Amino acid sequence: MSLLSFLTGVSQTLSVKGSSLTIGEVREMANTAGFRNNKGLPYSSNRGFGRSLSLTFDKLEISNPASAKKLADTIVGTDGKPAWLKKYK
C-alpha cells in the first residue's frame, strides 16, 4: 500500500464518521503501519510529514478533487485547520 492510499483511506473513514485527527496522530498511525521518510526512518516531525500530506493533496487535487477536500478537512492541526496546506481555502 502506498502512503497516498493510506492517507486517502484514513481521510475517507474520518469523513464518514464526521471527525478529524491531528497531523501528529496520523503521523503516528503511518509510522505504526510501516511508512518511512525518504531516509528510511519513521517520520519524526509534523513538518516532514506535513510535506508528504501536501504532496498527496497535490496529486489528489488533480486526480480526485473530492478526496483532496476530504484530506484537507479531516487531517488538521491543533487549531482544526490544515496548517500543512497553506493554499487550502
Residue-by-residue DSSP string for 38-86: TTSS----HHHHHHHHHHHHHHHHHH-HHHHHHHHHHEE-TTSS-TT-T
- The mean pLDDT of 57-74, rounded to a whole number, is 93
Strand partners, 22: 76
The model carries a pTM of 0.87
- The mean pLDDT of 66-74, rounded to a whole number, is 93
pLDDT tier, 85 (very low <50, low <70, confident <90, very high otherwise): low
Gyration radius of the chain over CA positions? 12
Per residue in 6-63, pLDDT (tens digit) is: 999 999 999 999 999 999 999 999 999 999 999 999 999 988 898 899 999 999 999 9
